[in-house]
């Protein structure tokens, strides 16, 4: 019995039929279709011919069967706090680029720093046969059944490789810049308690300030509260700083999002940036360059950190059991000077624009 052609789905080809159509071995075709590292030995033009024929003949590999045969899922799990503009999306873009290039699939889950999800999500991902995990700004305190790479994790946990920024150098770059501009009374916005970078960065700032002979006044230190990923948190704590009526000529924020909020609050209070208060952010998110004024910030190589995390994880996955692995891989920051910082105006020991 025939059926109407419009209601007939294209028949899926088999690997054997595809190989016969191309006049190649099933092994060669399988290597290319499954993006095996061994496919590098096959000429590029042959790889392109195989992929074109697979599309033409409607060949789609049976992922589950292939995974069972190889005992590999080619799948990675990625844990992040949230996915709004800022830190995590930039890191994920690097992870994504590398995994796509290597033919890996990935799950991304957002835990919002909820203790129940932080405990449950890693287990759920492992139950879905991920071969490894990448944790972005996520505290990992227990060993996993699979290799794990942590971006800004800062914990010495068995089985975990940490991709860590050189926070000591980051703090020095920011404070040396402000110090060179004449700023001696600097306000600080610390990160939330739950952020894995908060305490490490604050200790680095304290050390850098000590090196420069700068005194950190506790009345000029505020801390972000809540997990809302918007600039409002920066605005709120900056208003607290202003309400304390302790003069300051510069502000160093935990991240660019809070720095942007700080600028809004300063302007609302009649303070000009940078004429009255210089502001430095952290991360160098894409919108930092397009603020008014452009935001001076400490750049973390976020996308590169994502690429490095994915590359490190795949290398660990493909290594022989028992192979030693790096516990910490350090990346370097860069100061990006834009228009939100300027020379302070001094008259004797008085700070005129404070």
pLDDT at position 71: 58
Q: What is the pLDDT of residue 200?
A: 95
Residues 310, 233 within the same domain: no
Task: Scan for tokens 């879905």, then name that residue.
Answer: 128
Mean pLDDT value of segment 208-228: 94
pLDDT above 80 (res 85) = no
**Reported confidence tier of residue 333, pLDDT bands at 50, 70, 90:** very high
pLDDT more than 70, % of the chain: 89
Pair 200, 340 in one domain: yes
Is 259 or 44 the better-scoring residue by pLDDT? 259
Spatial contact of 220 and 188, defined as CB atoms under 8 Å apart: yes
Report the pLDDT value the prediction gives residue 236, as an integer from 0 to 100.
97
Residue 4 lies in a domain: no
Q: pLDDT category, 62, cuts 50, 70, 90?
A: low
Tell me how far apart the alpha carbons of residues 42 and 29 are, in angstroms, rounded to a whole number: 10
Q: What is the DSSP letter of 197?
A: T
pLDDT at 61: 65
Q: Which range among 50-54, 83-87, 195-199, 281-285 shows the weakest confidence by mean pLDDT?
A: 83-87
Q: Kindly state whether residue 147 falls inside one of the protein's structural domains.
A: yes
Predicted confidence (pLDDT) per residue in 179-190, tens digit: 999 999 999 999
Per-residue pLDDT at 86? 75
Residue 3 covered by a domain: no
* Angle at CA of residue 24, ends 18 and 25, nearest 5°: 90
Mean pLDDT value of segment 245-264: 97
**pLDDT for the residue 5:** 41
Rg (CA), the chain: 26
Asked whether residue 58 falls in the same domain as residue 202, the answer is no
Same domain flag for 46 and 188: no
pLDDT over 80 (residue 253): yes
Do 200 and 256 lie in one domain? The reply is yes
Mean pLDDT of 238-261: 97
Average pLDDT, the chain: 88
Q: Are residues 186 and 284 in the same domain?
A: yes
Q: How confident is the model at residue 347 (pLDDT cuts 50, 70, 90)?
A: very low
Claim to verify: residue 258 and residue 174 sit in the same structural domain: yes
**φ and ψ at residue 151, rounded to 5 degrees:** -95, 110
Residue 1 lies in a domain: no
The whole-angstrom separation of Cα 19 and Cα 307 is: 34
Q: Are 53 and 121 in contact (CB under 8 A)?
A: no
Same domain for 206 and 341: yes
Domain with residue 262: its CATH number is: 3.40.50.2300
- Residue at 28 is within a domain: yes
Q: Is the pLDDT of residue 176 over 50?
A: yes
Same domain, 92 and 157: yes
| DSSP per-residue string spanning 107-156 | EEEE-TT-HHHHHHHHHHHHHTT-SEEEEES----S--SS-EEEET----
In-domain check, residue 18: yes
**265 and 343 co-located in one domain:** yes
Of 82 and 273, which is predicted with more confidence?
273
168 versus 155: which is more confidently predicted? 168
Find tokens 């899926």 and name the residue. 12
272 within a domain of the structure (yes/no): yes
pLDDT of 68 reads: 45
**Is residue 145 included in any domain, yes or no?**
yes
The position carrying tokens 């996955």 is 317
Q: What is the mean pLDDT of residues 250-272?
A: 97
pLDDT more than 90, % of the chain:
60
Contact assessment for residue 75 and residue 129, using Cβ atoms and an 8 Å cutoff: yes
Domain holding 118, by residue range, is 73-166+302-332
Tell me the pTM: 0.79
Same structural domain for residues 174 and 187? yes
Q: How many structural domains compose the chain? A: 3
pLDDT score for 87? 86
Tell me: do 344 and 205 sit in the same domain. Answer: yes
Question: Mean pLDDT throughout 251-256?
Answer: 97
């Amino acid at each position: 019995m025939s059926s109407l052609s419009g209601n007939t789905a294209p028949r899926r080809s088999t690997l054997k039929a595809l190989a016969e159509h191309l006049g190649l071995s099933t092994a060669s075709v399988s290597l290319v279709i499954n993006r095996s590292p061994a496919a590098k030995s096959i000429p590029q033009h042959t790889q392109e011919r195989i992929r074109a024929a697979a599309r033409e003949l409607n060949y789609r590999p049976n992922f589950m069967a292939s995974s069972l045969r190889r005992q590999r899922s080619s799948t990675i799990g990625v844990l992040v706090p949230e996915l709004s503009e800022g830190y995590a999306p930039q890191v994920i873009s690097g992870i994504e680029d590398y995994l796509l290039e290597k033919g890996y699939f990935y799950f991304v889950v957002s835990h919002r720093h909820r203790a129940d999800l932080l405990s449950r999500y890693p287990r759920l991902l492992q139950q879905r046969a991920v071969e490894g995990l990448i944790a972005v700004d996520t505290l990992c305190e227990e060993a996993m059944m699979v290799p794990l790479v942590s971006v800004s994790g800062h914990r010495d946990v068995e089985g975990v490789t940490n991709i860590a920024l050189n926070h000591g150098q980051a703090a020095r770059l920011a404070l040396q810049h402000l110090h060179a501009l004449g700023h001696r009374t600097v306000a600080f916005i610390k990160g939330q308690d739950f952020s894995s970078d908060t305490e490490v960065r604050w200790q680095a700032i304290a050390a850098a300030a000590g090196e420069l002979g700068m005194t950190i006044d506790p009345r000029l230190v505020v801390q972000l509260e809540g997990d809302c990923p918007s600039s409002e948190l920066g605005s709120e704590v900056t208003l607290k700083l202003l309400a304390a009526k302790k003069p300051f000529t510069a502000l160093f924020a935990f991240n660019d999002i809070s720095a942007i909020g700080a600028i809004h609050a300063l302007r609302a209070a009649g303070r000009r940036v940078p004429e009255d208060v210089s502001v430095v952010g952290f991360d160098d998110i894409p919108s930092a360059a397009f603020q008014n004024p452009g935001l001076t910030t400490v750049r973390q190589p976020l996308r590169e950190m994502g690429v490095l995390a994915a590359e490190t994880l795949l290398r660990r996955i493909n290594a022989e059991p028992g192979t030693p692995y790096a516990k910490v891989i350090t990346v370097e920051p860069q100061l990006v000077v834009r228009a939100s910082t300027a020379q302070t105006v001094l008259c004797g020991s008085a700070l005129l624009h404070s």
